[in-house]
Chains A and B, each alone.
Chain A
Amino acid sequence: MTKHDDRAFRLLTGTVAAAVLVIVIGIAVTLVHESWLSIRQFGLAFWTTRTWDPVAGQFGALPFIWGTLYSSLLALLLSTPVAIGIAIFLAELSPRVLRQPLVFLTELLAAIPSIVYGLWGVFVLVPVVRRLEVATPEWLRHVPLFSGPPLGVGMLAAGLVLAVMVTPFSAAVAREILKAVPISQREAAYALGATRWEAIRLALYYGRTGIIGAVMLGLGRALGETMAVTMVIGNNPQVSASLFAPQYTMAAVIANELAEAALDLHNHALVEIGLVLFIVTIVVNALSRLLLWRVSDKVVSAPLAAAPAAAAA
C-alpha cells in the first residue's frame, strides 16, 4: 500500500519536474525551427556579412556580434577589478556591522530593472558621456578608439551601463569563492608573517578558477542584457573600433525589430540571432559553472543566490 503510494508520488512529481527539461529542449527546437529559412539561405555567411538591410532583404549579423562582444568585453574590463575589490572587502576586510547592509545594497543593485538603468542611462549618463566626448582633445580624436562625432550614445555609454549591471553578479560569486577558501590557508600565511594582502593574494590564487568562473558568469549576463543597452548604444549596425561610435547588439536588434518584422526571412534572421545568443550564453554559463565546481561544490548554487530573486533561499 505505502509502496504503491510512494511510486505514484514519484511518478506524479517526476512528470511535472520533467516539464522543466521539456521546456529547455522545446526552446532549442523552436529556435532552430523558426530560424530555418535564414540558416538555409545564408549559411555561415550570415555571420560574416556586414550589411543588414531588411527592406532589401539583406541580412548579415556581423555588426551585432561585434557590438555584443565589444560591449560585453568592455563591461568586463571595467567591472572585474571593482567586483573583485568588493568581494575581497566583503569577505576579508569589512567590519562585521557593515557586512550585511553592504551585501543587501549590492543585491539591490542587481535587482534594479534593466529598463530603469536604461532610463537613467538616456537622461543622465548619456549627457555626461557626451560632455566627456566633447572635452576629448583633438589629437586623441585621431586615434581610432576615440574617433567619430561626440554623440553621447554609443559604445562607451553601453559599456558603462553594462559594467554597473554586471558588477553585483560577479562580486557575489567571487565573494562566495573567497569564503570557500579554507581558513587554514590564511592562517598558514599569517603564521609565516604575511601581510593582509599577501594572505588575500594566496586566497585569490587558491580560488583562481572560481574567480574566473565568477567573471564569466558576469559575461553571460552582459551578452544577453537588452533594454539598458538598447537605449544607450545608438542602434547603428556598423563595425567600428571607436568607443564613441553608435553601434548595435544582438539582443537590441531583436528587441527593436521582431515585433515589426513583416518578411518571413527577416523574422527568421532575427530568431537565428536569438538562437546564437542562446547557444553562446549556455556555453559561457556552463564553462563558468565548471570552473566554480572545481573550487567548491558549495558555490554551485551561487549564481542563483546571487540573483536577488533567490535571496529567500
Chain B
Amino acid sequence: MTAHDLRRRATSRAVEAFCTAAVVVALIPLGLVLFFVISRGLPALRPEFFTHMPKPVGEPGGGMANAMVGTLILIGIATAIAVPVGVVSGVFLSEYKRSRLGSAVRFAADVLNGIPSIVIGVFAYAVAVMPFRRFSALAGGVALGVMMLPLIVRTTEELLRLVPESFKEGALALGATRSRAVWTVILPAALPGIVTGILVALARVAGETAPLLFTSFNNAFFSTRLDQPISSLTVQVYTYAISPYEDWHRQAWAGATVLIAAILFFSLLARFVTRRLERMHRGTA
C-alpha cells in the first residue's frame, strides 16, 4: 500500500469521524434544553399550577390555569378554521392531481407553510384586530388557523394517496359516485393518519408565541370570551421569562415543561400511529 492510499484512507476516516461528531454536536443542545426544562420546571410543577390563577409579584406559587384554558380555546378556534378547509382541500388535491387549480393550491400551501409565523400574525392583526380596535381570542385563533392550514392540506393529500387505488376502484365498480367513494371509503381508510396529522399540527401551533403577542395578547384574568384578549401558555411563559422576578422565572420553566411534555406526547403518538398505518397498508396493498 502506497503513502497515497494511506492518506486517502485517513481522509475518509477523518470525514466519517466529523460526521459522527456532527450528530453528537446537534444532539447536545437537545439534551441541554430538555435537561434544563425538566430540572428547573418539574420542581415548580405542583398540582396548583394546573388549577390556580397567576399570583401577583411577591406572592409565591400560583398557576397558569387561565393560560392553559386560553391555549385550548385558541387551538380550538384554529382547528375549527383549518380542519374543514384543510381536509376538503386535501381531498381536492388528491382527487384532481393534475388540474391547474390543484397545482396552484399546492403551490399556495407551500408558500403559506414557508411564511414566518410573525408575518401571519401581522396579517391576523390587520384583518381581525385593527377593524375592531381590540385584541381578541378570535384574532389569535385566526393566526394559528392560517398556520395550521397548509400542514393539514398536505398531510391529508399525502395520506389519501397512501390508500390503495383498489379501494376506490371497488367503490366505483359498485356504482358509487366519486363523492360517495371519497366520503365513505377512501377518507375513512385514511382517517387515523389524518387525525394524527391534525394533532401534530395542533401541538405545533400550540407552541407558537410570536403571532399571539399582538392578536390574542394576554389577560391576567380568567376569560373564555372570544371577543376579548386571552391568555396563552406561550405568551405567559414569555412574559414571565423577561420579567425580573425569580418566582416568575420558575413559573416560566414550569410552563415550558408543560409545553414540551405535550409536544413529546404528540410526536410519540404520531410516530406510533404512522408505524401501524404503514404496517396496515403493507398488508392490504
* Chain B residues within 8 Å of A107, by CB: 267
* Chain B residues within 8 Å of A19, by CB: 85, 89
* Chain A residues within 8 Å of B92, by CB: 10, 13-14, 16-17
Residue of A nearest to B91 (CB): A13
Does B27 touch A at the CB level, under 8 Å? yes
* Chain A residues within 8 Å of B84, by CB: 16
* Chain B residues within 8 Å of A17, by CB: 88-89, 92-93, 101-102, 105, 153
Least distance between B33 CB and chain A CB atoms (Å): 5
Contact with A along B1-37 (1 / 0, CB 8 A): 0000000110110111011111101110110110011
Within 8 A of B (CB), among A83-120: 83-86, 88-90, 93, 102, 104-109, 111-120
Counted as pairs of residues, one from A and one from B, with CB atoms less than 8 Å apart, the total is 311
Complex partner residue of B256 from A23, A106, A116, A313, CB under 8 angstroms: A116
* Chain A residues within 8 Å of B125, by CB: 258
* Chain A residues within 8 Å of B274, by CB: 311-312
Whether B30 pairs with A109 at a CB distance below 8 angstroms is yes
* Chain A residues within 8 Å of B99, by CB: 14
Does B247 touch A at the CB level, under 8 Å? no
Whether B85 pairs with A255 at a CB distance below 8 angstroms is no
Stretch at the interface among A46-54, A132-140, A217-225: A217-225
Complex partner residue of A307 from B33, B113, B146, B209, CB under 8 angstroms: B113
Least distance between B74 CB and chain A CB atoms (Å): 14
Instruction: Give CA–CA (A259, B139) in the complex, Å.
Output: 13
Within 8 A of A (CB), among B159-174: 159
Contact with A along B125-148 (1 / 0, CB 8 A): 111001000010000000000100
Whether A304 pairs with B118 at a CB distance below 8 angstroms is no
Instruction: Give CA–CA (A260, B146) in the complex, Å.
Output: 23
Whether B151 pairs with A310 at a CB distance below 8 angstroms is yes
Within 8 A of B (CB), among A1-32: 2, 5-6, 8-10, 12-14, 16-21, 23-24, 26-27, 30-31
Does A231 touch B at the CB level, under 8 Å? yes
Within 8 A of A (CB), among B237-285: 237-238, 241-242, 249, 252-253, 256, 259-260, 263-264, 267, 270-271, 273-274
| Contact-size category for A | 35 or more
Within 8 A of A (CB), among B201-217: 201, 203-204, 207-210, 213-214, 217
Does B226 touch A at the CB level, under 8 Å? no
Complex partner residue of A227 from B113, B150, B210, CB under 8 angstroms: B210
Least distance between A60 CB and chain B CB atoms (Å): 19
Does B120 touch A at the CB level, under 8 Å? yes
Whether B112 pairs with A14 at a CB distance below 8 angstroms is no
Least distance between B252 CB and chain A CB atoms (Å): 6
Whether B149 pairs with A281 at a CB distance below 8 angstroms is no
Does B43 touch A at the CB level, under 8 Å? no
Whether A197 pairs with B16 at a CB distance below 8 angstroms is yes
Residue of B nearest to A256 (CB): B213
Assuming the contacts A30-B127, A108-B264, A259-B213, asked whether A220 and B114 have C-beta atoms less than 8 A apart, the reply is: yes
Whether B8 pairs with A198 at a CB distance below 8 angstroms is yes
Interface centre among A26, A114, A168 (most CB of B within 10 A): A114
* Chain A residues within 8 Å of B66, by CB: none
Does B231 touch A at the CB level, under 8 Å? no
Does B193 touch A at the CB level, under 8 Å? yes
Complex partner residue of B234 from A113, A164, A197, A198, CB under 8 angstroms: A113
Least distance between B216 CB and chain A CB atoms (Å): 11
* Chain B residues within 8 Å of A81, by CB: 22
Instruction: Give CA–CA (A84, B19) in the complex, Å.
Output: 8
Chain A residues within CB distance 8 Å of chain B: 2, 5-6, 8-10, 12-14, 16-21, 23-24, 26-27, 30-31, 33-34, 81-86, 88-90, 93, 102, 104-109, 111-120, 122-124, 164, 167-168, 171, 195-198, 200, 220, 223-227, 231, 251, 254-255, 258-259, 270-271, 274, 277-278, 281-282, 285-286, 289, 301, 303-304, 307-313
A sample of 21 inter-chain contacts (CB < 8 A) reads A16-B89, A18-B105, A33-B126, A90-B23, A93-B19, A107-B267, A108-B267, A111-B204, A113-B263, A119-B237, A167-B26, A171-B26, A196-B12, A196-B15, A224-B119, A254-B122, A282-B111, A282-B115, A309-B203, A310-B197, A312-B193
Chain B residues within CB distance 8 Å of chain A: 8-9, 11-12, 14-16, 18-23, 25-27, 29-30, 32-33, 36-37, 40, 84-85, 88-89, 91-93, 95-96, 99, 101-102, 104-105, 108-123, 125-127, 130, 135, 146, 149-151, 153-155, 158-159, 177-179, 182, 193-194, 196-197, 200-201, 203-204, 207-210, 213-214, 217, 234, 237-238, 241-242, 249, 252-253, 256, 259-260, 263-264, 267, 270-271, 273-274
